[in-house]
Structure 1
Amino acid sequence: MSLREKGKARRKQQILDAVVTLLQAEGFSALSTSRIAEEAEVSVATLYNLMGSIDNILDVIVEQLFTEFESAYTHITRDLAPLAIIEGVSEAAYSFLKKDESKYKAVLKAVFQINVSRELTVPVFHTAQNNRTLFISAIRQLQNSGAMLPGLSPQLLAEQMLITQVMLLENWSAGVINLERFRLTSKFHFLLLIKAWASPELNIELQQKILEIQGSIEALMGSSDAQKRRPQATKTGQNKTIKTRSEKEVLSYEDRSLQKAGS
């Protein structure tokens, strides 16, 4: 690579890093060509020449993200036990996002805000297809062993599991749930979907797993609620006053599922 090419590559990376920095600090609304150019220490003309529009820059960032994301699943192979595959998808996503939580949350939030996925780039498609293939493999293993009732479409159930994962990723990126709750809740819903078609024997095993996860989620929710209810001391002049905030409790789909899990 020539010095000129190295310089272009360096400036391109500066631009990409600048966009991620702005997304982390201020969100998608902060993105403008002038702000990005200023943060990247390049001219607006250079930005356009090297990367094009903001949409093009975001496409590159999304491709990089999902290329890295896809690599997180390489250790999950189809010869694993079915439930290990299903739970492994949740654990792999969690481990990957944990590496740079702030960065990935900011980028994914922008993805959902602008709906970049309406035209799936190759890495995004591969990641989704890879997860779907893993789910289908696990479901078919369970069917072939007689652990799941006949008549179920593995493809349809796998798509429902994939939709669940995407919805939870969106909730995490928006700050509705934290990363640990994403990990637990994705496994919780994956297993609930399998349980609906499980044989009596597998149903017993899943019941135990689901109740264990439910306990972990409830403990996590209880800890979070306790922190929200904790009075906060604020200073007014020289005096300290106690300020409390009342919040409306909304019974979410997940909470309703928690209540039904034992049934």
Structure 2
Amino acid sequence: MSLSVAFLLALVFGAALGLAMRQLMGNRVRLGWSEAVLSGIVGSAIGALTISLIRGGYYREHWLGMLLSSALGTLIVMVLVGYFTRQPRPTAAELVAAGESARVEFKSTARCNLHTGQRDEKIEMVVSKTVAALANSGGGDLLIGVDDAGQARGLDDDLKFMKQPDLDRYELWLRDHLSKTLGSTASANVEVTFPLLDDTPICHLRMLGATRPVFLTPGKGQPVQMWVRVGNSTRQLGVDEALSYAADHWGRRRLR
């Protein structure tokens, strides 16, 4: 096999490897499919050239080393491209200024019914539905303590239901609630922070796009539910819709 043919095979291998790595990394990298293919080709070429220079040329018995170096080169290039092309994540203030959207939702409270002033399990469940819907729809942000008009209400309405009304207890309750309703894996993928908005602390939940469907368990003995974002609203899917949606977004192997 000539050196030119070997390099051509390495480039084809790199393109396929770039696609495969992009699929495996999912939302952990901000790379489009075309960028992943180009990164695979460039990385594979660099890896193949490196091993050829080290070996003093290409020999048939070195094909495994060339493939491994191509894979390593592809991974390095993808990581570098992902790092230098990543966009800074918007702050809570920037999200509020932009308003609600398919990826951004505001909630005045997570526990308190503002009409009755009492704790309301339905409102708590709405938080879980929104988190699940955003995770199932590519990721997004939920801001608690912000009303529909984008005004900061803060967390005092919810904190009064805590034994100790502080933000640490609030986060512990929130994670425990999400773990019970969405599962520990989905809960662990939620980033929780407490930024200031107009000098008032709010709760900012940031969700990555889920790598497999996130289902909501509304209560003991009740069937699981699947929620997604449709525009700037949260919608429950029926069984057939959920299966079709999951197969389209994650592939059938993710449903096992």
TM norm structure 1: 0.22
Tell me which structure has the larger Cα radius of gyration.
2
Structure with bigger strand share is: 2
TM norm structure 2: 0.23
